[in-house]
A and B are shown apart, each in its own frame.
Chain A
Amino acid sequence: MKKVDCIFIGGGLMGLASALFMARDGKKVLVLDKDCTGKHASGVNAGGVRSLKRDIAELPYIHGALAMWHNMEKIVGSDCGFYQTGYLIAAEDDQAMRELEQRAAQTRELGYDNEMLIGRDRLRELAPIVREHCVGGIMSVKDGHASPAETCRAFHAALVGAGGVVHNHCEVVGIDPGENGFCVHTTSQGKLYAEQVVNCAGAWAGKLAHMIGDTLPVEPVGASVLVTARMPRLLHPFVAVQGRKLWFNQARNGTLLICGGYLADVDMEKGLTRMNFHELQACAKVAYDLFAVTDDITIVRSWAGLDGETPDHFPIIGYSNKVPGLFHVCGFSKHGFALSPMVGQVVSALLQGKKPEVGIAGFEVERFDRVSDLVASNPIPHENCGNLSNYK
């Protein structure tokens, strides 16, 4: 069996995108997925491409990614269903408006000019369904919405087109790190060999790290979305309300997607999520409070993707500090979809020893060392790492 340059474990967008850019640089890459590519959070999320109110640490990534989303046709041969909708956060009172003003000033200072403040009239114009007490808001025009399923399909196809190989229904059952790279034991492909291994296993990233002798505080998490029947056009941008847990968006076909980090129950034994209607009810209540048309909105479905979450909700990007040659890109904590094309470029560069376009400072796994040591020295099953509270 020939050795490849890199094996990516997990066929989500992080793995697909990283593998794609590496393959285009002439490297031999292999993506393994125990189900099929895009089965979990990458293919099952609300499709938001948002720079608005991203955490400061992620701004370089999202702005790089935004430029790519607007150009997807050229990058992967499909627009991935991306279209510009804009994102808007409304303020319910003057205090909230002040918070938004501070935020806009902060990003402007860092050199980003995408976040604009809008007044009450403009808010009514853009999102007439937001209840009338809202006084204004903040908006980012370039943000938009993409189709998660189409994005995964397109990245998969582009990767194969670039010479990469994808094995679906190929579960990794063991990994032996050695002097000259790794031997990866799989269910359907036997032993596979690679110079480097990338852990991009999403909800399973913690479990996978454990298997290789590393420890990551990545916990499975399911984020729910409520889907309504098609409605006449009510709003163009994604809308949220400052200080409230809610995103409201109308897809191109007219269905509303309502979410806001409401959790689903996670069944890792079967690898699936189950809707928690207490959470969905909380979501519906907030929507009912903040939007004016909710009486005639019917819910036709709900679903939740399965993602990996870290204690500080920032992703982990970088080489393992315990296993040489093992690279982690995981823990995107329910907000990785929009970042994925840019993360792919950065990871591809790092794996080839090149200097990436943007750095990974702040995302390295070292920030959890204190926690990891704690876990390593105590017989706590890895499933519990993420519950160690008060980490900082």
Chain B
Amino acid sequence: MKTKWEVIVVGAGPAGMACAASCAEQGMGVLVLDEQPSPGGQIYRNIERQRDKVLAVLGQEYLRGAGLATRLRISGAEYKPLSKAWKVESNGRVCFSENGSSREVQGKRVVLAIGAMERPVPFSGWTLPGVAEAGGVDAFLKSDGLVPQGPVAIAGSGPIMLLVAGHLNKLGVEVNSFFDTTPSLSVLSALPHLLPALRRVDYLAKGVAMLMETRKSVGQYKRGVSHYEAVGAEHVTAVVAHKHGKATTVPASTLLVHEGIIPRTEFTRQLRLAHKWDGVQRYWYPDIDEDGRTSLPAIFVAGDSGFVHGGVAAELKGEITALAIAAELGKGGAFNEKRQKSLRKQLAHELLTRSFVDAMYSPRPNLSAVDDHVTVCRCEEVTAKTIRALVSSGQTAPEQVKAVSRCGMGPCQGRMCSSSLIEIMASETGKNAQDLPPLNVRPPVRNIGLGELANATLLPHNAAQKSSS
């Protein structure tokens, strides 16, 4: 396999596919490293070989990915499935693991298009088998056609919940309760953003239709739920929803939760790039320009891993980044400038509703108000109580709390707990979350075997320390 590439794209969701395909179409040598077995990312997972039954459920929006995947396949980009990047260097080097063996490759430009993830939020009972992220259910459905065991309860806030409830309804899975934690006052903070959103009536109408359908299809629909918990010994057996201090208990074999979507920043943090805090959706995102450029000349970020805007926007952002890279590497065609302009216009149109939706589904303020006994870091079994005790003993930086408590030090390197750690610390200290820097990530960003490291094919050290253009 070639070790030197003009562009290495990490991830093959909408942003990665569009970016890689566009770069390859413009004559660049492109390597795509994808953790998944086939192109699509989370949103278009398994799009190339999907069952008809599942296609019928997922509909037109999912099918959009088919064209994108085909475009990637015929673009000439080298696509590597089941290849996990585990280290990205500022000079454009990437280490990745494939079939238990690791190698290092060099790109003139590296595009991080690793997407977003559901915000992990700890609550009482969240570690019980049977509790899952709502989006995770769609992932199982897309890869294996699997559906969760009913009765199902859905809890949390955000459009994904409605989407998943709709899918389950079409599949004939019983959703007996839908606990919506979106604060009713959110409508007020979203109102100022309504005017631009009205230019996308199609989008809003779809949202309203989903809401109506969900209300009809689920057993009970409860609004204004303040928080919820899962109950059970070996497996979840019931869900308790709290509203105005009153608790409602419903039997459930599966509890699906959703509390919004946050960018995956493990590589930008491993690279120690600057990050910014979004006060509405409450997450850290990498500081990039409109082309996805970071402060490192060799590193770009495209799609939802830069800021969560959804699949269609991610595709446009991937394409925009590709054109920017083409210009930098002297590969751009005569019409690139015009194309870039048109893409930006399309992106702006796509984002018209975003501020409205983001404000509407801003994380509820009590997300971090979990009971002391709740485990926050699942890998190292660190409870909310431990974190609070360290804060009150004077530890004021997340890295300090991590070092002493081991919160975020396990195999997932804080993917599941770092956002909650920041929220809990913010509410304990009264500090603004933006003054609590996100945890460092240390390579390897994905776990690799000791033997695999011993036998890895690395490029010579010190050569090509500077990124070439």
Cβ-based interface call for A276 (8 A): yes
Smallest CB-CB separation from B446: which chain A residue? A300
Query: A301 and B413 in contact (CB under 8 A), knowing A149-B403, A281-B458, A284-B450?
Result: yes
Docked pose: A230 CA to B379 CA in angstroms: 9
B456→A299 contact, CB < 8 A: no
* Number of chain B interface residues as a range: 20 to 34
B449→A278 contact, CB < 8 A: no
Contact residue among A278, A288, A300 (Cβ-Cβ distance under 8 Å from B451): A288
Which residues of B from 436 to 465 have beta carbons under 8 Å from A?
442-444, 447-451, 453-454, 456, 458, 461
Which residues of A from 147 to 178 have beta carbons under 8 Å from B?
147-150, 153, 157
A35-56 to B contact mask, C-beta < 8 Å, 1/0: 0101000011000000000000
Chain B positions within 8 Å of A, measured between CB atoms, are: 87, 95, 104, 272, 380, 393-395, 397, 400, 403-404, 406, 409-411, 413, 442-444, 447-451, 453-454, 456, 458, 461
Smallest CB-CB separation from A148: which chain B residue? B403
Contacts of A277 in B (CB 8 A): 87, 95, 104, 443, 453, 456, 458
B458→A288 contact, CB < 8 A: no
| B-binding segment of A103-111, A181-189, A290-298 | A290-298
* Those 4 A-B pairs whose CB atoms lie nearest each other, nearest first: A149-B403, A284-B454, A284-B453, A297-B450
Contacts of B409 in A (CB 8 A): 227, 301
Contacts of B448 in A (CB 8 A): 298-299
B413→A153 contact, CB < 8 A: no
Contacts of B404 in A (CB 8 A): 147, 149-150, 153
B449→A301 contact, CB < 8 A: no
A295→B458 contact, CB < 8 A: no
B272→A299 contact, CB < 8 A: no
Chain A contact surface mostly: mixed
Contacts of A288 in B (CB 8 A): 450-451, 454
Docked pose: A299 CA to B451 CA in angstroms: 10
B397→A299 contact, CB < 8 A: no
Q: In the assembled complex, how far is the CB of residue A130 from the closest CB belonging to chain B, in whole angstroms?
A: 15
Query: A298 and B447 in contact (CB under 8 A), knowing A153-B395, A153-B404?
Result: yes
Contacts of B406 in A (CB 8 A): 253
B403→A301 contact, CB < 8 A: no
Contact residue among A147, A272, A299, A303 (Cβ-Cβ distance under 8 Å from B453): A299
Smallest CB-CB separation from B441: which chain A residue? A301
Q: In the assembled complex, how far is the CB of residue A369 from the closest CB belonging to chain B, in whole angstroms?
A: 34
Contacts of B449 in A (CB 8 A): 295-299
Q: In the assembled complex, how far is the CB of residue B224 from the closest CB belonging to chain A, in whole angstroms?
A: 41
Cβ-based interface call for A59 (8 A): no
A281→B456 contact, CB < 8 A: yes
27 A-B pairs with CB atoms under 8 Å apart are: A36-B397, A38-B403, A147-B404, A153-B404, A226-B453, A227-B409, A229-B410, A253-B406, A258-B450, A275-B87, A276-B461, A277-B443, A277-B453, A278-B458, A281-B453, A281-B456, A284-B450, A287-B454, A288-B454, A295-B451, A298-B450, A299-B448, A299-B449, A299-B450, A301-B409, A302-B443, A303-B442
Q: In the assembled complex, how far is the CB of residue B455 from the closest CB belonging to chain A, in whole angstroms?
A: 8
Cβ-based interface call for A372 (8 A): no
Docked pose: A299 CA to B400 CA in angstroms: 22
Docked pose: A296 CA to B452 CA in angstroms: 10
Q: In the assembled complex, how far is the CB of residue B57 from the closest CB belonging to chain A, in whole angstroms?
A: 36
Contact residue among A36, A150, A301 (Cβ-Cβ distance under 8 Å from B444): A301
Cβ-based interface call for A365 (8 A): no
